[in-house]
Amino acid sequence: MRKESSYRPKRVSHLIQQEISQYLINELPEMTAFLTVIGVEMPADLKTAKISVSVLEKNKRQPVLELLEKKAPHFRRLLAARLNLRYNPELIFILDTSVDQEEKIDRLLALVKKNEPINKS
């Protein structure tokens, strides 16, 4: 039984990710060029959903996050209509900054590589 209870949040989070991604593609196509839904985390009680989003353009991150937060009630109604859940989860949007961290690591590796002596073996 514990195996089933740990599987349900993963399954519901995957469904929420699909529904929100599909909504963004269909209803807000101008945003899909630089916005990606990375993942959804849910606790076992399924009452909240932390939705990680990645925005490619740094100058658009805050406005996009504000727009998503503003549209959160609409997303909740959409999910309530599409998914048959006992509780309609509260949606919390979070910016995923892993792309920035990857870029920083790449820059640091490039700097290290420049300072390494060349082996001619």
Tens-digit pLDDT profile for residues 82-95 = 888 888 999 999 99
With residue 42 as reference, give the H or E element that holds it.
none
Give me the domains of the chain, ranges plus CATH numbers: 2-115 (3.30.300.20)
Q: Which of 81, 76, 32, 83 is nearest to 53 (CA)?
A: 32
The predicted-structure confidence for 60-71, as pLDDT tens digits, reads as follows 888 889 989 999
Name the residue with tokens 């990680």: 52
Instruction: Record the pTM.
Output: 0.77
pLDDT exceeds 90 at position 34: no
pLDDT exceeds 90 at position 53: yes
Burial, 26: exposed, middle or buried (Cβ in 10 Å; 0-12, 13-18, 19+)? exposed
Q: What Rg value do the Cα atoms of the chain yield, rounded?
A: 19
